Structures are given as C-alpha cells and as structure tokens.
C-alpha cells in the first residue's frame, strides 16, 4: 500500500529565471510503501531538507504533486494542511522540540489533547508508549531534567500518539551521542516492525542510516541512486559508505 507518492517535484527558491534563483529540486519522484523505513542522504546543499519539507507539507513545491495517505497535500489550503499534519503526520526534529513548561507526559499527549481525545485513551496511550520506549519512570519530569536520549524518545512517542500514516525525522540523531543514537534508531526499528509505522528520515549519519531498510541518495536536487538492505546492518553500513564516496561532495560523515 502506497503511503506517500511524490511526482516530479521541482522547487525553485527566488524568482524563476532571476539571477538569484536556486533550483533546489529539479524533478524528484518518490513512492513510499506502508512500513518502509527510509533514509535520505546526500551532500550538503543537495536538497534533502527541501525535499523533506515538501513531502511533509511544511513547504510547497514550485511544481509537482505530493499525495500522502491518498490525499493531495500540494493542493491543500493552509488550514486543511495544518489539520492534516496534526492527524496524519508525525515529526521528530534534531533539537527534540519539547515544550519546557510541560512534563514529558504532557508533551507526549499534547497532539491528543488538541484532537480532544478522551482522558482514558490518552492515559492508556502514554503508558503503552512509555513502556515501549522505556521512559515510563520519567513521565512526570520536565524536559530540562532528563537526558537528550530520553528527550528524543519522548519526542518519538509524541510523534506517534495520533497513529500517523508516516513519521518524518530531520537529523534525529544530530544532537545525540553514539549510544543514544543507537537507542533512538532501535526505537524507530521497533515501531516499523511492531506497529508497521512508515518512517522517513533525513540524515548525515551513516550509522543511523544503516538501521533503515532503504537509503535514497540525492545530489544536485535529483535522485542519484538508492540501495535496499539485504544482509546485515554492518554490510549495509559499508554499502552506504561506498555509495556516498561515489556521490562525492561534502557529506559531514567522514
Ligand atoms: N529559503 C531558501 N532560499 C533560497 N535558497 C535556499 C533556501 N533553502 C535552501 N536553499 C538552497 O537550496 C539548495 C538545497 O538546500 P537544502 O537545505 O535543501 O540542502 P540540504 O541537502 O538539506 O543541505 P544540508 O545537508 O547542508 O542541510 C541549496 O543550494 C540551498 O542554498
């Protein structure tokens, strides 16, 4: 089942044809199936963030169409999109983006509160996610009193509470040490395998990308190639390194 379909996405920043215009994406097509776990990699400036922003409705393409869960998000109004994003999409950011004035539990259930879900449903969901990600003992703490790894696990829980069609993660391990990075990638692995969640992440981190099932490489605003995991994570990691070397450019990974 196709969860996301992007057709010939072009993004030009600045006035088209103007001297200062930049073609960030030159015609990207991508199809993502339910339960896929995909990383987008590429050199600095290749268009990764632009692509993620367009696929998740944060930004509009100059031309091309994006369909998520059967709905054309590229044609939605701002209000429709805001509602759609809250109900159908989950987001995880490099900086965790938890609200400091709320406890971990309040942060996690916030998207459910906005959807006016029942208290019992929220409680059962937060307990389930707390257990799944081993943060059940810190649910009453505030974000500034827990580690970065725990904050990111809370952020993944928050992204999951409304059972999104897809989770978008922008450099989710960018602010974590290697041990916490491994834990967070294992969390993503768990939700893909146990809940059939679809996860798309943008990363410079080859170690993080090696947890995914597929890596799509972009260069100069176009899809250059992709690889699918067949053997072990270690073998996939070596394959990612080889592909990045072919890609060239400045990739912060070495
Ligand atoms: N708001 C903007 N206005 C003008 N140009 C932009 C804007 N955002 C990005 N660009 C340009 O579009 C191109 C793609 O940028 P993008 O941020 O998508 O790349 P990236 O692969 O995510 O880079 P990095 O790995 O360094 O984060 C770059 O040439 C960049 O300078």
pLDDT band for position 62 (cuts 50, 70, 90): very high
112-144 pLDDT, tens digit each: 999 999 999 999 999 999 999 999 999 999 999
Ligand 1 centroid, distance to 49 Cα (angstroms): 7
Sequence-distant (6+) residues with CB within 8 A of 59 are 11, 50, 53
Sequence-distant (6+) residues with CB within 8 A of 106 are 99
Distance CA 149, CA 111 (A): 21
Is residue 152 a contact partner of residue 146, using CB atoms and an 8 Å limit? no
Ligand 1 centroid, distance to 216 Cα (angstroms): 17
Q: Which residue has the tokens 């890596």?
A: 215
C-alpha pair distances (Å), 180 with each of 60, 148, 150, 217: 33, 8, 8, 25
Is residue 221 a contact partner of residue 48, using CB atoms and an 8 Å limit? no
Q: Give the mean model confidence (pLDDT) for residues 219-237.
A: 96
Sequence-distant (6+) residues with CB within 8 A of 221 are 11, 23, 24, 25, 26, 28, 46, 47, 50
ipTM of the complex: 0.97
For the four alpha carbons of 166, 170, 171 and 175, in that order, the dihedral sign comes to: negative
Distance CA 209, CA 184 (A): 12
20-55 pLDDT, tens digit each: 899 999 999 999 999 999 999 999 999 999 999 999
pLDDT band for position 74 (cuts 50, 70, 90): confident
pLDDT band for position 251 (cuts 50, 70, 90): low
The residue nearest atom 29 of ligand 1, judged by CA position, is 45
Report which ligand 1 atom has the smallest distance to the Cα of 221: 14
Q: Pick the closest to residue 237 from 203, 202, 212 (CA basis).
A: 212
pLDDT at 186: 94
Pocket, ligand 1, Cβ cutoff 6 A: 13-14, 22, 24, 42, 44-50
pLDDT at 160: 93
Report which ligand 1 atom has the smallest distance to the Cα of 204: 25
Ligand 1 centroid, distance to 98 Cα (angstroms): 25
Ligand 1 centroid, distance to 172 Cα (angstroms): 18
For the record, the structure tokens of 225 come out as: 């190639």
The residue nearest atom 18 of ligand 1, judged by CA position, is 47
């Amino acid at each position: 089942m196709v969860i996301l379909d992007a057709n010939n996405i072009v993004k030009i920043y600045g006035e088209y044809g103007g001297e200062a215009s930049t073609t960030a994406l030159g015609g990207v097509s991508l199809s993502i199936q339910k339960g896929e776990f995909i990383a987008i990699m590429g050199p600095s400036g290749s268009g990764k963030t632009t692509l993620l922003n367009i696929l998740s409705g944060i930004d509009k393409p100059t031309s091309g169409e994006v369909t998520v869960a059967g709905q054309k998000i590229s044609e939605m109004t701002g209000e429709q999109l805001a509602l759609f994003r809250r109900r159908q999409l989950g987001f995880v950011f490099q900086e965790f983006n938890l609200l400091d004035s709320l406890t971990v539990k309040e942060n996690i259930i916030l998207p459910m509160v906005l959807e006016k879900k029942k208290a019992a449903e929220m409680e059962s969901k937060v307990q389930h996610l707390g257990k799944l990600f081993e943060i059940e003992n810190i649910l009453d703490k505030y974000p500034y009193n827990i580690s970065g790894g725990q904050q990111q696990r809370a952020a993944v829980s928050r992204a999951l509470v409304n059972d999104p069609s897809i989770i978008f993660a922008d450099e989710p391990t960018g602010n974590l040490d290697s041990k916490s990075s491994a834990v967070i990638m294992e969390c993503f692995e768990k939700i893909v395998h146990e809940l059939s969640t679809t996860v798309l992440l943008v990363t410079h981190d080859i170690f993080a990308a090696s947890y995914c099932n597929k890596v799509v490489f972009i260069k100069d605003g176009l899809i250059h190639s992709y690889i699918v995991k067949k053997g072990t994570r270690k073998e996939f990691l070596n394959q990612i390194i080889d592909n990045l070397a072919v890609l060239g450019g400045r990739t912060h990974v070495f």
